[in-house]
Amino acid sequence: MAKARIAVMVSGGGTNLQALIDAQISGIIKSGEIVLVISNSHTAFALERAKNAGIKTFSITKKECGSQQSFEKALIDELEKENIDLIILAGFLSILNKSFTDRFAKRIINIHPSLIPSFCGEGYYGLKVHEAALHKGVKVTGATVHYVNEIPDGGEIILQKAVYIRKNDTPETLQRRVMEQAEWKILPAAAEICSRKIIENKEI
């Protein structure tokens, strides 16, 4: 059976990338295959995770390119060279322009560590999201996988999973639990849903 060709875009440690690699090995992701990992940092540990799994890597920085437009062109060239069907943003900390997101409409998904529409949009990433949730005093948080458009965290929601906040939580303990209980479960599940849709549409 044909599989959707997946590229995962990362900026840091790659814990969500590892969850995707593990899900592919265990058969949770069966309609797609990760064939490329792209990073906007040459030193991201996620690149090591990819190499350990035998996945091709590509890294490039905006600084090297000189502009957002040149940076996105380099990304597009690499994605198209590898015939990528689905792009997964897994902690990719670079905002992508409308021209980029429109080119891959309904082909880019992102994981965000809150229940959108809470604690999302520009400036909400990493620990900042969990700090905001604790500061507000919400009792339930979680994670969301959504399609990517030109508005940060603004695309259609694919999956969400709730995580209860504990009385003694710190941003760090909450971040870890949201990853373990939500992100690492719904991101692979969404990758499978989207890969299956792409394959079914290709077969028509």
Domains detected in the chain:
4-203 (3.40.50.170)
Q: State the average pLDDT over residues 113-123.
A: 94
pLDDT in tens, 85-103: 999 999 998 889 999 999 9
The pLDDT value recorded for residue 203 is 63
- Of the pLDDT bands very low, low, confident and very high (cuts 50, 70, 90), residue 122 is confident
CA-angle at 39, arms to 71 and 84, nearest 5°: 80
Q: Is the pLDDT of residue 1 over 80?
A: no
CA 32 to chain centre: 15
C-alpha closest to that of 190 among 98, 108, 123? 108
Q: Which residue has the higher pLDDT, 95 or 13?
A: 13
Q: Where are the alpha helices (DSSP H) in the chain?
A: 15-26, 45-52, 62-65, 68-81, 98-103, 127-136, 171-178, 184-203
C-alpha 193/C-alpha 46 separation (Å) is 24
Percent of the chain whose pLDDT exceeds 70: 99
Q: State the average pLDDT over residues 14-32.
A: 97
The pLDDT value recorded for residue 48 is 96
How many beta carbons lie within 10 A of that of residue 162, not counting itself?
13
Measured in Å, how far apart are the chain's first and last C-alpha atoms? 14
How many beta carbons lie within 10 A of that of residue 123, not counting itself?
9
The pLDDT value recorded for residue 204 is 45
CA 140 to chain centre: 22
pLDDT in tens, 138-190: 999 999 999 999 898 999 999 999 999 999 999 999 999 999 999 999 999 99
Percent of the chain whose pLDDT exceeds 90: 89
- Of the pLDDT bands very low, low, confident and very high (cuts 50, 70, 90), residue 201 is confident
Long-range contacts of the stretch 52-57 (C-beta < 8 A, 24+): 53/21, 55/21, 56/82
C-alpha 108/C-alpha 156 separation (Å) is 11
Q: State the average pLDDT over residues 56-76.
A: 94
